[in-house]
Amino acid sequence: MKLMNKISPWRSLIYAAVSLAALACLLPMLLVVAISLTDESSLAQKGYSFFPEALSLDAYTTLIRGNSTIGSSYLISIIVTLAGTCLAVLITASAGYALANRQVNCRRGASLYFFIPMVFNAGLVPWYMICRELGLTNNIFSLIIPTLLFSPFNLFLTRNFMIGIPDALGESAKMDGANDLFIAFRIYFPLSKPVLATIALFYGIGYWNDWFNSVMLVSDKRLYTLQFFLYNLQSEISAFKYIAQGVPVKAPPQDTFKMAAAVVTIGPIILLYPFLQKYFVKGLVVGGVKE
């Protein structure tokens, strides 16, 4: 009773509104999960629903046992995400250290050098042509290199964090004969763990969710990332194909199968969620509300 008294009608209204917003963020994904767990034949009768008429795990067993290429796509996505993220973090952290190092007199000019392409970007066409000239087509590197530093924003986030590390640490190490490589890798990078975790997540999510590189540079089916696999799967069901062509030529994959494929795509995101939330939000707050 005492608790009830404390909660005013206004407050309960606020709780209701926030709950409603939270539901709105979660329910659409739950619809996809529900469809993936529905029996295909009951879908044909009842359509998509949050409450499956008949439950079935068929879609998931087909995913695992069937001869679909989703397994290899999963592997490609994992390789691309891990390699891309490690490489991107390493390059960003290294450059961040150099730009934060007060011994470097030209660091302002160097920052400007990185900043200019951020505000003036010639866009898709030159990017595509350069990728082609560098041979970044139809190989694993074409999925990693072209978006390696997709936004210098991460570089500036890292630099600003490293500027906050007291100079005395580096100076005393220098006195003991350490060079900048040692100071960067042994002192600055370990101390910058929070910001490095944040940019690792920005990069990681970017790589995992990206299919732009695939659509632009890859046609070899063996190199399809999970997102691109999903993208191609989806284009087989889109309504306009039916409108344009009357009847689909080949039997499209079953809806439950497609939805199950979408669900397993977000698996790693769910697994890493607690970690994700902690560092991602922190990074956004630091980046959004500039120092």
Q: What angle do CA 266, 271, 276 make, to 5 degrees?
A: 90
Measured from the CB atom, is 61 or 235 closer to another protein? 235
Q: How many CB atoms lie within 10 A of CB 25?
A: 9
Q: Is 259 left (phi over 0), alpha (psi -120 to 50) or beta?
A: alpha
Nearest approach, Cβ of residue 275 and another protein (Å):
12
Q: Give me 134's structure tokens.
A: 């560098």
Nearest approach, Cβ of residue 239 and another protein (Å):
4
Contact (Cβ atoms closer than 8 angstroms) between residue 120 and residue 191 = no
Nearest approach, Cβ of residue 70 and another protein (Å):
13
- H helices present in the chain, as ranges: 2-6, 9-36, 40-46, 58-65, 70-100, 107-119, 124-133, 141-144, 153-163, 167-175, 180-182, 189-191, 193-209, 212-217, 226-235, 239-245, 255-265, 267-271, 273-288
Measured from the CB atom, is 192 or 227 closer to another protein? 227
Nearest approach, Cβ of residue 113 and another protein (Å):
7
Measured from the CB atom, is 103 or 172 closer to another protein? 103
Q: Give me 198's structure tokens.
A: 């944040």
Nearest approach, Cβ of residue 224 and another protein (Å):
12
Q: Give me 255's structure tokens.
A: 């809806």
Measured from the CB atom, is 64 or 134 closer to another protein? 134
Nearest approach, Cβ of residue 22 and another protein (Å):
4
Closest to 75 in 3D by CA, of 195, 247, 223: 223
55 backbone dihedrals φ, ψ, rounded to 5°: -80, 150
Contact (Cβ atoms closer than 8 angstroms) between residue 227 and residue 26 = no
SS3 string, 186-212, reads HHHHHHCHHHHHHHHHHHHHHHHHCCH
Measured from the CB atom, is 95 or 195 closer to another protein? 95
Query: How far is residue 216's CA from residue 137's CA, in Å, rounded to a whole number?
Result: 9
Nearest approach, Cβ of residue 61 and another protein (Å):
20
Nearest approach, Cβ of residue 77 and another protein (Å):
10
Measured from the CB atom, is 54 or 269 closer to another protein? 269
Measured from the CB atom, is 92 or 192 closer to another protein? 92
Query: How far is residue 280's CA from residue 192's CA, in Å, rounded to a whole number?
Result: 15
Measured from the CB atom, is 57 or 134 closer to another protein? 134
